[in-house]
Amino acid sequence: MVHAGQQIDSTHRQHYAPNNGTDGQAAYTGDSVRSHVADLFRGLSLTRNPDLWQTLPAEKRYELENREDYIEIENALQALKGSTKNQQRRLLYNKMRRLIDSELSKCQKSQTRKPLSEEPDGTYFMGSHRSQFSRARRMMPVRQRLADNIFQEATLRSDLGRQVLADMIALCKQEHEIEIRPGLEPGKCHCIASKDESSEKRAHIKSNKAFYSAQTMVDNLGFTLTPDSMVHFNDATWPLLVMSFLAFAGNTLYPVVLRLVIWTFSKIVPKDSLTKETLQFILDHPRRCYTLLFPARPTWILFSIIFLLNFVDVLLIIVLDLNNPAVNSLSLGARILAAIFQAASARHTGTSSFNLADVNPAVQFSLVIMMYISILPIAISIRSSNAYEERALGVYPHEEGLDESNGSSYVMTHIRNQLTFDLWYIFLGTFCICIAEAQRIMDNDDPAVAVFPVFFEVVSGYGNVGLSLGYPTVNTSLSGQFTVFSKVVMCFMMIRGRHRGLPYALDRAIMLPSDHVTEIGLQTENSGSLGDAKSLRRRMLPMRTYLTT
């Protein structure tokens, strides 16, 4: 048993124990793997006697570590650090281990509670590891309460009897997060379904999870059934591929996919059918029928912008994190696919395939930019295509200096207005949260709460994206660690960001030209000079435009 019988603990943990599987939390947060978890799983294959002390008490351990012979061994090991004298180092470790075993043997022989069995020669069998169930009892209050109360006498209707009954029911139903049973797979932290669980029920649960994940990607919500978003599945090719497509089709590329579907059906249906004429009319006059359906040229421009932004984002994630274990632990193909998924989610979905707190700072800043301009391409496409056969589709206050006949000038003017208008709210929200969280931001022992993570959180909330750099000790976003005032500010930022750029009137995409009333006509009626109303309607003067999402 090389795995269980390796004498040097550090060698066993580094080369034999599956550290990533046995200590998933430390592997996820990037911390050093805790040795007692590896030792616990190592003890599964060793014989133990739970009635004996398996480790030195804290007092005895402290006394041993302050003894001259123990300190001398530690100094010798420190002097050999980095050298190639493996034989000498092995002898020192054996000497230290013999000191610990000698003290542990003395403690075991002097303990008040003796083991129930003895060897023929009168000595006790002394295992070198504690029982794994002691850790399970400590982590599971249900098992701990049952171990303390199940052998006590009490009526079933008493408080103790009801507590024991409730704990037994909870164990039978597996209503807890930690469990010890033969089906445990530490590598993926999943438990094989028990034999009494029907295959139909398991299939139903899997179907619900698949439907939930697909729905959250199409709706761009970002909710997942795993505590680490999609980090646990960052090497799953098919789910990431499908979910990336759903994220694009549900928001940023929705107008492109919609026009592609209509164009495809127009090529399939018979040429002389009424459906063919209807679909062709929709393709020729898309803004008469739907707000998010654009003509061919704006649709291609939108697709080009989205492709360029996501290509740059994927390139930054791959190139800037070439030497980052948080990213390069995946194979090249899986890394590219995970980067595509992350780029798709950075626009509006809010899911993540990497631990964003561990990626390159430049990648984090690029994600901030992508979240800030998340809605801009579609909004500009709506504005640039907001015309009803050379007539505007909305009634808005007059804007000086905005030439709608010049497409590039029109779009660039709206981009400047949108970007500068949103910055005030983001800076104000970041400023208020920095005031409320000043003590934690200034605390050097809490680096997870700083100005940039707060700024990242505010931009994510204002853009209704949902990405976060998180906090090391919890599964929630960084906002979960904010004060009440900061959480209120975040709620305001999300509401304001969700309703930013609302038009002054509804989009008139499905109204007929005869249903529009010009601004000049309204002013004429209010001034008392009505004139010829019929001739005024025939003029159909253009109305001002300022539509967004």
Domain boundaries defined on the chain? 2-110, 135-185
- Predicted confidence at residue 204, as pLDDT, reads 53
At 384, the pLDDT band (50, 70, 90 cuts) reads: low
- Predicted confidence at residue 382, as pLDDT, reads 61
CB of 549 closer than 8 Å to CB of 378: yes
- Predicted confidence at residue 329, as pLDDT, reads 81
Sign of CA dihedral 144, 149, 151, 156: negative
Task: Give the best-scoring range by mean pLDDT among 54-63, 198-207, 257-266, 381-390.
Answer: 257-266
CA atoms within 13 A on the CB side of 148: 12
Taking residues 146-156, report their average pLDDT.
71
CB of 54 closer than 8 Å to CB of 127: yes
Residue 185 or residue 216, greater confidence: 216
DSSP assignment string, 280-340? HHHHHSGGGT-TT---HHHHHHHHHHHHHHHHHHHHHHHHHTTT-HHHHTS-HHHHHHHHH
- Predicted confidence at residue 341, as pLDDT, reads 92
- Predicted confidence at residue 352, as pLDDT, reads 87
- Predicted confidence at residue 501, as pLDDT, reads 55
22-26, 135-139, 542-546: which has the minimum mean pLDDT?
A: 542-546
Residue 55 or residue 460, greater confidence: 460
Closest CA to 176 of 209, 142, 144: 142
Q: Is the pLDDT of residue 155 over 80?
A: no
Query: Residue 325 burial (CB < 10 Å; 0-12/13-18/19+)?
Result: exposed
Q: What's the token pair of residue 461?
A: 């909330």
The residues with which 185 forms a beta bridge, in sequence order, are 190
Q: Is the pLDDT of residue 535 over 90?
A: no
Largest Cα span, the chain? 122
Q: What's the token pair of residue 21?
A: 């599987």
Taking residues 412-424, report their average pLDDT.
68
User: Is residue 483 helix, strand or coil?
Assistant: coil
Residue length of the chain: 549
In the chain, the amino acid numbered 20 is N
The residues with which 191 forms a beta bridge, in sequence order, are 184
pLDDT digits (tens, 9 = 90+) for 281-302: 888 888 778 878 888 888 888 8
- Predicted confidence at residue 337, as pLDDT, reads 92
- Predicted confidence at residue 435, as pLDDT, reads 94
- Predicted confidence at residue 129, as pLDDT, reads 41
Q: Is the pLDDT of residue 507 over 70?
A: no
- Predicted confidence at residue 168, as pLDDT, reads 75
CB of 461 closer than 8 Å to CB of 497: yes
Q: What's the token pair of residue 107?
A: 């403690």
- Mean pLDDT of all residues in the chain? 72
Residue 117 or residue 426, greater confidence: 426
Closest CA to 140 of 177, 90, 89: 177
At 485, the pLDDT band (50, 70, 90 cuts) reads: very high
- Predicted confidence at residue 456, as pLDDT, reads 92
Q: How many CB atoms lie within 10 A of CB 521?
A: 19
- Kindly calculate the radius of gyration of the chain based on its CA atoms and give it in whole angstroms: 33
CB of 277 closer than 8 Å to CB of 285: no
Q: Is the pLDDT of residue 390 over 70?
A: no
| CB within 8 Å of 131: residues ≥ 6 apart | 43, 48, 50, 54
Q: What's the token pair of residue 238?
A: 């098919």
83-87, 103-107, 211-215: which has the minimum mean pLDDT?
A: 83-87
CB of 136 closer than 8 Å to CB of 178: yes
CB of 159 closer than 8 Å to CB of 152: no
Q: What's the token pair of residue 264?
A: 């495809």
DSSP, res 33: P
Residue position matching structure tokens 């398996």:
54
Query: Long-range contacts: 40-43, Cβ < 8 Å, 24+?
Result: 40/132, 40/135, 41/17, 41/132, 41/186, 42/3, 42/4, 42/12, 42/17, 42/129, 43/4, 43/129, 43/130, 43/131, 43/132
Taking residues 530-540, report their average pLDDT.
44
Residue position matching structure tokens 């249900």:
142
- Predicted confidence at residue 183, as pLDDT, reads 39
At 2, the pLDDT band (50, 70, 90 cuts) reads: very low
38-42, 168-172, 248-252, 403-407: which has the minimum mean pLDDT?
A: 403-407
Residue 390 or residue 387, greater confidence: 387
Q: Is the pLDDT of residue 33 over 80?
A: no
In the chain, the amino acid numbered 327 is V
Taking residues 310-332, report their average pLDDT.
87
Q: What percent of the chain has pLDDT over 90?
A: 11
Residue position matching structure tokens 């509670």:
113
Sign of CA dihedral 76, 78, 79, 85: positive
User: Is residue 184 helix, strand or coil?
Assistant: strand
Residue 143 or residue 387, greater confidence: 143
Q: Is the pLDDT of residue 480 over 80?
A: yes
